A and B are shown apart, each in its own frame.
Chain A
Amino acid sequence: MTLRNTTQRWGAIAQLFHWLIVALIIVQLTLAEMADDLPNGMRKLTLLSRHKSFGITILMLVILRLIWRSLNAHPPLPDNLKPYERKLATFSHGALYALLFAIPLSGWTMSSARGFPVSWFGFFQLPDLVPRSRPLYEALVTTHVTLVGVLLAVVALHIAGALKHHFVHKDDVLKRMLPFT
């Protein structure tokens, strides 16, 4: 496998971005779920500060990923797709990128509105995006959680599409994103 993409398959860098973000999304859901059940205290503070740091990491990775994508060829979708399938693929990929921006940004803004500035693993502090406001914070919590729900739905569609390619169309669309094939 080459570092760069080819017209046949995704290169190592693109695959690394894809799977690293998958892993981080799982970490994020776990941290949020664990913190949700805890009373206010040191453990909750620790889990949420990691959640924020990983969220900012995802945001940085998505930016780098889009830059890398713009500098590379992409393997095209197979020719035998029906127009609605092609539309669905384009829509779901666009939605995934948009959500991977919107979710960390809504979380960051939510922290700013709450008056808890975000730090990236203690290395540097991010600027507050909005002034402190309780109603805005409440609205952003709803936004953040709703967007995560939408992300999970689009991810389900994405996985269903990949499996359909592999088992129904029997093409290489899934395989070309898998590292050891």
Chain B
Amino acid sequence: MRASALTPALGLTLLAAALGCARAGAPAAAAAPAAPPPAATAAAQPPAGAHYTLDPAKSSLEFIFLQAGAKNTGRFPRFTVGLDFPGADPAGGRLDVTVEVAALETGDKDRDETLRSDDLFAVTKYPQAHFTATRIVRTATGFDAEGPLTIRGVTRDTHVPFTFREASENGATVGYMAGKTVLRRLDFGVGQGDWKATDQAGNEVTVSFNLRLTRAMR
């Protein structure tokens, strides 16, 4: 009983510690003991020439929104990520994300249908969303990817802050990438007609991601 009650609490503490350390900007020293896989090593900066692709089974992309004043969560189960760090300077890096918007899931079929409809994501016309960051800079807390984000056919320059660390698991090098950013749905036209009002469906949507990437040297 005690152990099972403690496990999630311990997990959360470790997670909080890991996040706290990532924010403090000392991932190499502090993230290693907090990382769940025992063989994990954290890289202060990704090695040159690395190319990463998504491990979809161990990755999540969620969106958190206010509906009728209450917090609700949905997820995009289908998306692809490509991350390139060609040199020691992350500025030459590139991040490509394609999201199958039509596959969205909020746990409620009626709501999913409404979100896919023409007044919201209009998925028949705009089945995908894209983000291409052509500028990646180091920040105090990790990295910041900047580039055009296209949702529902509207493109806006967007910043996506993220943390990144490498780990060695069963002899393979993997990357863990996590972050979140707040978007305003109306900036992208997600909300036409009645849905332009924001009192029942909030304008601000938090997009949060937790990704496991597998690495291939080029």
Binding site for B on A (CB under 8 A): 40-43, 45-46, 48-49, 52, 114-123, 125-126, 132
Which one, B67, B197, B199, contacts A116 given CB within 8 A?
Answer: B67
Which one, A42, A116, A119, A120, contacts B195 given CB within 8 A?
Answer: A42
Which one, B67, B110, B201, contacts A40 given CB within 8 A?
Answer: B110
B108 touches A46 (CB 8 A): no
- Given the interface pairs A42-B194, A42-B197, A45-B200, the reply to whether A132 lies near B107 with Cβ below 8 Å is yes
| A-contacting 9-mer, from B1-9, B68-76, B168-176, B179-187 | B68-76
Binding site for A on B (CB under 8 A): 67-72, 106-108, 110-111, 113-114, 193-195, 197, 199-201
A114 touches B113 (CB 8 A): no
A45 touches B69 (CB 8 A): no
- Given the interface pairs A42-B201, A43-B194, the reply to whether A122 lies near B69 with Cβ below 8 Å is yes
Q: Which residues from A are CB-within-8-Å of B107?
A: 115, 132
Q: Smallest distance from the beta carbon of A110 to chain B beta carbons, Å?
A: 13
B68 touches A41 (CB 8 A): no
Bound: A132/B74 CA distance, A? 13
Bound: A115/B106 CA distance, A? 9
> Can you spell out 30 A-B residue pairs with CB atoms less than 8 angstroms apart?
A40-B110, A42-B195, A42-B200, A43-B194, A45-B67, A45-B68, A45-B200, A46-B68, A46-B199, A46-B200, A49-B69, A114-B108, A115-B72, A115-B107, A115-B108, A116-B67, A116-B72, A116-B108, A117-B71, A117-B72, A118-B70, A119-B68, A119-B70, A121-B69, A122-B69, A122-B199, A123-B69, A125-B69, A125-B70, A126-B70
